[in-house]
Structure 1
Amino acid sequence: MEGHLVDPDREEMEISEDYPILKSFLAGSFSGTFSTILFQPLDLVKTRLQSPVANNHVCPPKHPMLSTMINIIQKENILGLWRGMTPSITRVIPGVGLYFSSVHYLKHSMDLRDPLTPLQAVSLGITARTMSGCLLIPITVVKTRFESGVYRYESMGQALKLIYKQEGLRGLSSGLAPTLLRDAPYSGLYLMFYTQLKEVSSLALDNKKLITMNFGCGILAGIFASIATHPADVVKTKMQLYPQEFRNAYSGFLFVYNKYGVMGYFKGIVPRMLRRTLMTTMAWTVYEQITRTIGLK
């Protein structure tokens, strides 16, 4: 009988060590979903500011972000601020999950130890985001078009079918280059700033201080990474909304510069910086707490 006795503590420890990639995926998906729902209005406003439809004023408003939000509420009611929620969630649940599980897998397969060096952090972030970005580019295209107000698709399924029928695979992957130029460096820079800022910060002595430190480091990391990658975000939006006019990233960058000058590369930066910084910070803070709770750290 003794051979069949099971030590509960040992069994619990073995379970916590099983399926670390799956646990990373689930923890990342959970943390990303909550923050996406909360900050979707900021992403919508950012897309509208980068779209010509939202920039046809004779005199630009003094507060474009606020004016855009008021305009959306007046025309589409308050729920209009969450337009594009379905593709956003569809993209985030596997996207953020894939990103965090990829980071976990790459970190452990290459036997990288904390604290990561700046080069290790950048390389890890870029590789993980490139993998998830390439897989989910069709959903990113649909999300951008839903948010823009230019296209009126009835559902995600209809959008995917129409884009494929009218534009082929090229349409479903439009803006891939600037998307990767935006997301991969953002993730790499964010992870670098985040790990370095955490290392510089004094070590927390309890969970409350740890959460505060993680959140503060995440905010600063998000601001730096957002500024560095925003020009690619502007070009990505234009390529995904008007794929016939912008056949490659170079033509998009050139168009923005010729029409708006250097400042054109920073259209919509305030809502994107707020949304991306808060969303990424919350996702990383929640992810770190979950992984610590389930024994992945």
Structure 2
Amino acid sequence: MRGHEIISLSTDSSENYVENDKKNESDKKKTFLQDYPLVKSFLAGSFSGTCSTILFQPLDLVKTRLQNPTTVSINGRHVSVGMYNIFATILQEEQIKGLWRGMTPSLARCVPGVGLYFCTIDFMKSHFFPNKSPGPLEAIAMGLTARSLSGAILIPITVIKTRYESGVYNYSSMGSAFKEIYSKEGFKGMTCGLLPTLFRDAPFSGLYLMFYLQAKKLVPSDVLNSPYASPAHFTCGVTAGILASFVTQPADVIKTKMQLYPDKFRGVWSAVIHVHSKYGVKGYFKGIVPRMLRRTLMAAMSWTIYERVSLSIGLK
């Protein structure tokens, strides 16, 4: 009996030790996340960026090819076609995997880019608006700053992504693309289209954040804390995305032209003149439907996942 008690005490002691060890490990993780909230923002943003990038890559691919119609051929002839024709052509010539062409550079750009964007937004919120919600103009400034930072840092990957999707260039890998662009075009080639990229992304993010935060204010607080919070966030995101996408579409067209044909355009203005002389005003809105769908749904999904992940890891 005495021996049985000793064994029982020893077993209990061992179990307590294991439980305490697990608890200490959990506490360390909590402490780390509490001490580094920006890490949580980056991880939550990167996760949301991964999901939305994979899901909506086909729309980005079609948008790029709509803006560069010479890459589309039907029965051996280059013709100007619409979104559905491009989908059909890609499926016919490249099978379904062709819709995800450029997936690697897209992930390399969007995952850290979205993570950095949300990390910067949270940093500015906690330092400049710790006890209040930013107003419309303040939200625009935050969005502009966050997107300009991530856009400037990741511009080389943006160039590669655009060329991968266009069908004009046949790079075997991201490494070979970097090497070829740098050897032929130098640093200028790696940063080609930076200005129109920033003119597109920075205003989009600023306007999007403003519209998103203003739309959220119209949603009752009890809804945002209920099981219907995700649909509410998604609806706010869709509304904000439609408005912001339309305003920034011309800059997206100019950016694509400059990155695909760096030798043809000496600057932003020459690309603007080319588009206007060849297509007229409607040329600045080529690819607006797939871009609006992608940017709207991607941004809405990113914010919805970000809000949900942030809540689950204690960021909010």
The CA deviation string for residues 66-108 of structure 1, in whole angstroms up to 9 with x for no partner, is 0001001111111000000000001112111111101111111
**Separation of aligned partners in 2, 1:45 and 1:186:** 20
Offset at residue 11 of structure 1 (A): 6.6
1:104 to 2:115 alignment: no
Q: How much has 1:59 moved relative to structure 2?
A: 6.3
CA distance in 1, matches of 2:196, 2:302: 23
After superposition, residues 239-278 of structure 1 pair within 5 angstroms as: 239-278=258-297
- The answer to whether the Cα contact below 8 Å between 1:222 and 1:273 also exists between their aligned partners in 2 is yes
RMSD of equivalent CA atoms: 2.0
Secondary structure of 1:247 counterpart: coil
Amino acid at match of 2:143: G
CA distance in 2, matches of 1:145, 1:176: 15
- Secondary structure, in 3 states, of the residue corresponding to 1:204? helix
Describe the SS at the equivalent of 1:34: helix
Match of 1:87 among 84, 100, 105: 105
Paired residues in the alignment total: 291
- Whether the 8 Å contact between 2:67 and 2:253 is mirrored in structure 1 is yes
Of 36, 51, 58 in structure 1, the residue corresponding to residue 53 of structure 2 is: 36
- Provide the rounded CA distance (Å) in 2 between the counterparts of 1:142 and 1:114: 40
The amino acid of 2:110's aligned partner reads: V
In the superposition, the TM-score normalised over structure 1's length comes to: 0.93
1:7-31 Cα offsets, whole Å, 9 max, x none, are 9798776444221111110100000
The alignment status of 1:22 with 2:43, answered yes or no, reads no
What's 1:227 paired with? 246
Offset from partner CA, 1:206-255 (integer Å, 9 cap, x none): 43221111110000000000000000000000000001111211111111
Asked whether the equivalents of residues 204 and 213 of structure 1 are also in contact (C-alpha less than 8 Å), the reply is no
Question: What TM-score do you get using the length of structure 2 for normalisation?
Answer: 0.87
**Residues 56-67 of structure 1: matches in 2 within 5 Å?**
60-61=80-81, 64-67=82-85
Aligned residue among 149, 161, 169 for 2:167: 149
Once the two structures are TM-superposed, the CA of residue 58 in structure 1 deviates from its matched residue by 7.2
State which drifts further: 39-48 or 12-21. Answer: 12-21
Q: How much does 1:276 deviate?
A: 0.7
Cα 1:112–1:259 shift into 2, 3 Å: farther
- What secondary structure does 1:208 align onto? coil
- Asked whether the 8 Å contact 1:54–1:68 carries over to 2, the reply is no
Bigger Rg, structure 1 or 2: 2
- Check whether the contact 1:115–1:199 (CA below 8 A) recurs between aligned residues: no
Residue ranges of structure 1 left out of the alignment (5+ in a row) = none
- 1:168 and 1:11 map into 2 onto residues whose CA distance is 46
Q: Does 1:48 align with 2:59?
A: no
* In 2, Cα distance between equivalents of 1:59 and 1:183: 30
Q: Percent of aligned pairs with the same residue?
A: 55
**Cα distance change of structure 1 residues 208 and 77 upon mapping to structure 2, 3 Å threshold:** same
